[in-house]
Structure 1
């Protein structure tokens, strides 16, 4: 694997795991109904990040397009999670912002 992918892969993994944790915790929350959008976006974000990880690993021709999609989904998830007070939502928002930035940086550098 090319060294230039390591930084973005690390951010993608962290974002996917944080997003999964956020969605699971929101589903267990007493406020589950109020967190429905957060749950859906967190699940979408985790799925998108993992798709990009797998695509990078197999050197797919879709990587450039998926980087742009992942950047977009991470921004949406970060915005929604940042509206919530729960620690796991705030952690997810931070991971999403870092991932979004890493995707943009990778696009700009290549």
Structure 2
């Protein structure tokens, strides 16, 4: 499949990656960084898988469904963790992650 067929997914993956990177950096500035450890770890994992899937789609990988399935799981985990925190950056990240998880599930 060409990357044009996955343009919506590509857009959402990129938005999620950016939200996770922003949340990651902002969480590192929080006073109680230990409380944010799971959020920080999942932000990294989510940004990485979203970036990888975005690149893989643009290369025309035949593994979009399998990679999208893994990406959906990680995005959902990150979104659910971020929802637990009241910080604006966490709430924005949660929204982006859960939206991305839904888009990934459509092609998984």
Q: Residue 5 of structure 1 aligns with which residue? A: 6
SS in 2 for 1:51: helix
The one-character-per-residue Cα deviations of 1:32-89 (angstroms, maximum 9, x if unpaired) are 1110000000110000000000100111132221100000000000110000010000
TM-score, normalising length from structure 1? 0.93
Q: Residue 85 of structure 2 aligns with which residue? A: 84
Q: Residue 101 of structure 1 aligns with which residue? A: 102
Asked if residue 62 in structure 1 is aligned to residue 56 in structure 2, the reply is no
- Is the Cα–Cα contact under 8 Å of residues 24 and 40 in structure 2 kept in the other structure? yes
Distance change >3 Å, CA 2–CA 47, structure 1 → 2: closer
Task: Name the count of aligned residue pairs.
Answer: 107
**Whole-angstrom distance in 2 between the partners of 1:79 and 1:4:** 29
**Whole-angstrom distance in 2 between the partners of 1:31 and 1:98:** 28
- Which blocks of at least 5 consecutive residues in structure 1 are unaligned? none
Runs of 4+ aligned residues of structure 1 deviating over 4 Å after TM superposition are: none
Distance change >3 Å, CA 2–CA 59, structure 1 → 2: closer
- Which blocks of at least 5 consecutive residues in structure 2 are unaligned? none
TM-score, normalising length from structure 2? 0.94
